[in-house]
Amino acid sequence: MATESANGVSSPELNERDVVITTNDNRNFTVKIGVARVSKTINNMIQDLGESLDLSSGIPLPNVDGPIFEKVLEWCEEHKNAPEIKVEQDPHTRERKWFTMTEWEEEYFRKFLSHLWDLAMAANYLEIPSLYYYTCQKLAERIKGRTPEQIREMFGIEDDLTEEEKAEIRRTNVWCTY
Amino acid sequence: MSRKRKNQILNEPPAKLANIEECRLKYMVGEMVLCKSEIDNFFYEAKITAITKSEEGEFFYKVHFKGWKAKYDENVPDSETEFRFKYHTIGNVQNAQEEIKLAKMRKKVGVITNSETLPKQLNMKKLSKFTKMITPDLPPIVIPANSGTCAELPDDILVNIFKYLRREDIDNCRLVCSKWNQAIEKAAYRLPACKIHSVCFNAERDKSIMFKSFSGCFVRFSNLDKDLWQPTRFIFKTSSLESFRIVALSDFPLVDKLQRITKLTNGRIRTDKLVLDIGETIALKWLNKLPQIVQEYISTPNVHLKLLPLTFAYLLTHPEMIYFCPNTQVNIRVKIGSRKGANWIEKNRNALVYFLLGTTVRCAPRYFLDIYLMEIDACLIIEPIVKAFLIIDEPSLFFKQIEIFHDREEISYLKEYGFVLNRSHGQRQIHHLKRPQNDWILEADFHVFDGTIYSMRLSPICVVNENYPY
């Protein structure tokens, strides 16, 4: 965790204070600053506000809705003291190395399986690298080794490619097996 | 497919092709596929044993199912391959096998539960295993109707997901929807590439090749001079190849080789980036003809020569190699790394200088380390003809590229490259040249005498990126 906050209040003390965060459906969440700070977006807001930070009036999050934020908070609570994740990739193929998840994280994603897309979007917006990368990995796990039809069915995507376009993709796609 | 099996297939003589048109077909004789059986509609491993053409002009694949008697062989018309055939990849084979397994189990479980007299000793563990296997391991993600679907997902997130996948999966993802396709196309350079970096084709060994993939990788042809290379046996389904390596060395002219490659690949291969890779074994095999061949290659524009120490060293011993390529644009990549080569060079220092005269040498510094350039230095002092030479003061540092110039306009050339002349000392001038580029900064001393440079000393001031791909 950061040792010194922008407004001069030492970190452990500030982290224990509460902050109110309002999501776009007007739900208020009272969160410990230490937890909210897992999100870099919120952390920046807190730092930008500095002295003028009025903890009771709250921080608005116009792009996140309540149910999703609730899930994100659960993650933040668990990961408030976690070190930054290291993103590595294969230098030759540029393929990213898969992270190994803890049991808690596996369980977390099992619980919110149907919200992976929303979680990815929220994590991207809130800049929570751990959640963002892990969610993307979970999504990749489901795409891996599947046919386009299976993927479409799984994610409810409409097939808007014409046969000609598909044939063209197949032609240029050297590895395409379907 | 195991390597053994693969070789086996490659070594099998190809069945006679009925027509040249056949090489345009998607599948070819001898290829393993997954074929949907007409009997039970499951995909089985199968091999195409023959291609026939009907009177109507339609092609039929004769398919033999692996592990089944010949009476089960089927004829599959070309028009049906779209849904009857699947490529024989490890993933596909596993999927097919699992499907068959599951179907068998379902049958079994169904029989057991239907029978009223359920045997007591029925292994419940086994049953639960069946049911477990029948349920898919990953339940589908149900997206609530009102929430944003992935169609609204920013490309960034999609790309981030794709970064975890292998190229095969990414290519499949392109077929999902236009948005995904565009996202993948746009981010092509950030997404994982195919794993194969170089492919070697040896006309003697590889009887027939299905050339489907390999964009952005090296392709290496051996024995190109043999008449084994016929377009009907090689099907190229690729558009971009990084470069070609021709390993075959013989008196077979280079121009013919280039034409052959162009023909083989239906003109889709750019032959402007050829690397002639002369390995030691090949060099020894063609020892007598080597100088002529190298000369021929070297005078062909856009050909890169990659010489291994022994080859290089051998060339040095040939007097006719002197001045063989003055002021050409050819790049010689000299690989001096092994002791063997070093010993040869040691003996032939003078020749080395001649060899380098008038050429631009681009070398991978890791091969150009240690004493070798110092040796050049020593011989340059003996040989006043040589105008420019190079000393590496810090051989452990990596250079991006080092160039040796032989030209009257060295200085202006260097200026063009961004070097700055700093000062001079009377008759014997020393210029400090700096190249203001963060990746490669060299300080150079020029020893100028009577207006001509006769020595140049370059020393690195900073280290370039270690990952420089060579």
CATH of the domain at B52: 2.30.30.140
Tell me how many degrees the CA angle A93-A95-A99 measures, rounded to the nearest 5: 150
Domain boundary among B164, B193, B222: B193
List the single residue in A with minimal CA-CA distance to B84. A178
| Residues from chain B contacting residue A91 (CB–CB below 8 Å) | 467
Give, for B442, the enclosing helix (H) or strand (E).
Answer: strand B442-449
Tokens of B101: 């397994």
| Chain A interface, best mutation among B34, B161, B165, B196, by max A CB count within 10 A | B161
Nearest residue to B89 via CA among B79, B81, B97, B77: B97
Question: Does residue A166 surpass a pLDDT of 70?
Answer: yes
Q: Which residue has the tokens 């970096």?
A: B197
Chain A contacts in chain B segment 272-331 (CB below 8 A): none
Q: Which residues contact B153 (CB under 8 A, 6 or more apart)?
A: A117, A120, A121
CB A66 within 8 A of CB A27: yes
B145 touches chain A (CB under 8 A): no
Identify the domain containing residue B450 by its residue range. Answer: 387-470
Give, for B447, the enclosing helix (H) or strand (E).
Answer: strand B442-449
Nearest residue to A92 via CA among B51, B469, B459: B469
| Alpha-carbon A85 to chain mean position | 13
Tokens of A16: 């224990």
Dump pLDDT digits (tens) for B294-313: 666 655 555 555 555 455 55
The C-alpha atoms of residue A72 and residue B41 are separated, in whole angstroms, by: 46
Across-strand partners of B43? B36
Q: Do A117 and B194 touch (CB under 8 A)?
A: no
Nearest residue to B161 via CA among B186, B183, B138, B193: B183
List the single residue in B with minimal CA-CA distance to A154. B140
Q: Do A156 and B144 touch (CB under 8 A)?
A: no
pLDDT for position A157: 82
Across-strand partners of B444? B433, B458
First to last CA, chain B: 32
B124 touches chain A (CB under 8 A): no
Q: Do A158 and B177 touch (CB under 8 A)?
A: yes
Nearest residue to B305 via CA among B359, B350, B266: B359
pLDDT for position B155: 81
Does residue B414 sit within a domain? Answer: yes
| Residues from chain B contacting residue A153 (CB–CB below 8 Å) | 140
Domain count, chain B: 3
| Chain B interface, best mutation among A65, A68, A117, A146, by max B CB count within 10 A | A117
Give, for A135, the enclosing helix (H) or strand (E).
Answer: helix A129-143
Q: ipTM of this model? A: 0.85
Task: Average the pLDDT over B83-88 and give the result.
Answer: 72
| Alpha-carbon A116 to chain mean position | 9
pLDDT for position A173: 55
Distance from CA of B470 to the nearest CA of A (A): 13
- Between B147 and B222, name the one with better pLDDT: B222
Tokens of A87: 């993103």
Most confidently modeled of A65-74, B164-173, B234-243, B437-446?
A65-74
- Between B271 and B79, name the one with better pLDDT: B79
Nearest Cβ partner of B173 from A151, A170, A174? A151
Q: Which residues contact B22 (CB under 8 A, 6 or more apart)?
A: B28, B51, B59, B232
Phi/psi at B346 (5° precision): -55, -40
pLDDT for position B346: 53
| Chain B interface, best mutation among A109, A110, A174, by max B CB count within 10 A | A174
Dump pLDDT digits (tens) for B224-256: 555 555 544 444 444 344 444 444 444 455 556
DSSP letter assigned to residue B90: H
Tokens of B196: 């194969």
Count A/B contacts: CB-CB distance under 8 Å: 161
Domain ranges across chain A: 11-144
Across-strand partners of B221? B201, B246
pLDDT for position B360: 39
Q: Do B163 and A95 touch (CB under 8 A)?
A: yes
**Lowest-confidence region among A37-51, B133-147, B337-351:** B133-147
Does residue B32 sit within a domain? Answer: yes
Distance from CA of B168 to the nearest CA of A (A): 5
Q: Which residue has the tokens 């668990």?
A: A78
| Residues from chain B contacting residue A171 (CB–CB below 8 Å) | 237
CB A21 within 8 A of CB A69: yes
List the single residue in A with minimal CA-CA distance to B197. A92
Distance from CA of A68 to the nearest CA of B (A): 11
User: Across B279-409, where does the E strand assignment appear?
Assistant: 303-307, 331-334, 360-361
Domain boundary among B193, B227, B251: B193
CB A139 within 8 A of CB A155: no
List the single residue in B with minimal CA-CA distance to A167. B175
Does residue B35 sit within a domain? Answer: yes
Tokens of B446: 């020029």
Dump pLDDT digits (tens) for B164-193: 887 777 878 888 888 888 888 887 767 776
pLDDT for position A54: 61
Q: Which three-class secondary structure state does DSSP give residue B448?
A: strand
Sort residue A90 into left (φ over 0), alpha (ψ -120 to 50) or beta: beta
Q: Does domain A11-144 fall into CATH 2.40.110.10?
A: no
Question: Does residue B49 surpass a pLDDT of 70?
Answer: yes
Alpha-helical regions (H) of B202-269: 254-264
**In this prediction, what percent of chain B has a pLDDT beyond 90?**
0
Q: Do A146 and B172 touch (CB under 8 A)?
A: yes
The C-alpha atoms of residue B375 and residue B217 are separated, in whole angstroms, by: 36
List the single residue in B with minimal CA-CA distance to A145. B169
pLDDT for position B46: 83
